[in-house]
Amino acid sequence: MSNSIKLAILGLGTVGTGVINLINDNLNELKRRSGRDIIITEVGTRRQRDDIDTNIMQNSDLMAIAASDNVDIVIEVIGGTTLAKDVIMQAIKNGKHVVTANKALLAEHGNEIFAFAEENNVHVAYEAAVAGGIPIIKVMREGLAANKIEWLAGIINGTGNFIMTEMRDKGRPFADVLSEAQALGYAEADPTFDVEGIDAAHKLALLASIAFGIPLQFDKVYCEGITGITLQDVNYAEELGYRIKHLGFAVRRDSENDGDAGVELRVHPTLIPQDALLANVNGVKNAVLVNSHPLGQTLYCGDGAGAGATASAVMADVMDLVRVLGSKDRDDQSNSNQSNHGHHVPHLAFIPDQLSDTPILRADQMVTGYYLRVHAYDSPGVLADITRILSDAGINIDAILQKPAHKVGQVPVIILTLPVVESQMNLAIEKIEKLETITDKVVRIRLDELA
């Protein structure tokens, strides 16, 4: 049995460099925990770096590295969904275990990648793909393995959380905070993936598959961003005892009483109670709240991005794979016919042939409460008309707040509703907007008590 495990790191950006630094800083701890020497033999980089140990081979040919006999585990941190996919498939074909932080790639092509890994008796580990340094993948696949997960809700994009926190705490408009987030490096020059919820949707697709044992279905995640959130709504929510967070939800709907049976996958701004655990996770922090039976609610919180957090998650996967390789070596020495694959949990937590075809619900089948902001002329009977329409649609009102006029003769009316199927709310809003007394489109934000 070889006493060393050889790593290749593909990509030397923030995360790749962070992995090198972590290994150098914690080399003795890693060996004490694994019983093996963990060494970097090759790195994939477009240009030669003079700050890399001369014992490490630098190569711009990533496909060659993925096939190298001098590599046991390939760490992919180049990003994207084209070259990264090709490199990972090449590594799998050549019997290499893979560690990746690439949530977009896995959300969109994970079913194919995981199936290919199963065929080749290797494993693709991806703790760093969701929520950075929070070990949420391991928690859900292993720590909660005996539980039935009913739902999860998460702040899984730090940029969006930073923006919503600054808007609430400092009364700053969206565009102003977004500019600062870009200046601080929290948001890209093109922030679409963050502020429109696409990044969170990639992560949610992974979490939902692990939670419910369903294939990855990123294309069925309902996605709504935070670009339309105003300070007005942030302040009204606070006045009513709520905070607005950009959340991802994966919800199991088993009962007809909760609407259609299936799974809700949705990312959107959400009002949640001010005293809720997630309401008090601020700044760029990430957090995932999981409700399972029989454990109940548990919260996992920490840094969701950055060199240290992501490198920590990458190396946690490496350590798991080191143990898998150690088990294989022991099996080989004892002439065991048991596959090394049996020493590791399945990619999506459930045995591959036991994945369920549970339907993913459409947006109009989702069930949530609602915050509605309606602007109307200040005239008799307006509120009665609105409440009648909601009542006729089977929508129960939880609270009503009428504010002073912002424009002469016009008043904003704020309504909170109890949970209702979205199709019913769509019809009600359509009727409200047709009232002659209504002066603008109805603003709607979903509401969840997280109970």
Q: 339: which 2 tokens?
A: 């596959």
Q: Can you tell me the distance from the alpha carbon of 198 to that of 208, in angstroms, rounded to the nearest whole number? A: 15
- Decide the pairing of beta strands 397-402 and 124-125: unpaired
Please report, in range form, the residues annotated as the binding site for L-homoserine: 188
Which one is catalytic: 203, 245, 285, 328? 203
- What are the helix and strand counts (H, E) for the chain? 14, 16
Residues of the chain below pLDDT 70: 1-2, 255-259, 327-343, 406-407
- Of 200, 201, 205, 206, nearest in space to 163 by CA: 200
Q: Can you tell me the distance from the alpha carbon of 403 to that of 414, in angstroms, rounded to the nearest whole number? A: 8
Burial of 228 (0-12, 13-18, 19+ CB in 10 A): exposed
What pLDDT score does 169 carry? Answer: 96
CB count in 10 Å sphere of residue 365: 17
- Of 434, 391, 436, 441, nearest in space to 412 by CA: 441
Active site residue 203: yes
Q: Is 124 helix (H, G, I), strand (E, B) or coil?
A: strand
Measured in whole angstroms, the distance separating CA 398 from the mean position of its chain's CA atoms is: 30
CATH 3.30.70.260 at 367-447, yes or no: yes
136-302+358-363 CATH, one of 3.30.2310.20, 3.30.360.10, 3.40.50.10950, 3.40.50.300:
3.30.360.10
**Where does CATH 3.30.360.10 sit in the chain?**
136-302+358-363
CA angle 139, 253, 285 (to 5 degrees): 40
What pLDDT score does 340 carry? Answer: 44
Alpha-helix runs per DSSP H in 338-402: 382-392
Question: What is the per-residue burial (b if ≥16 Cβ within 10 Å, else e) of 235-274?
Answer: ebbeebebbbbbbbbbbbbeeeeebbebbbbbbbbbbbbe
CA angle 363, 188, 286 (to 5 degrees): 60
4-135+307-352 homologous superfamily? NAD(P)-binding Rossmann-like Domain (3.40.50.720)
Strand order in the sheet with 57-59: 57-59, 37-44, 4-10, 73-76, 97-100, 124-125
Question: Which residues are bridge partners to 249 per DSSP?
Answer: 153, 266
Model pTM score: 0.94
What pLDDT score does 343 carry? Answer: 55
**Where does CATH 3.30.70.260 sit in the chain?**
367-447
Please report, in range form, the residues annotated as the binding site: 10-17, 103, 188
Q: 83: which 2 tokens?
A: 């070259």
Please report, in range form, the residues annotated as the binding site for NADP(+): 10-17
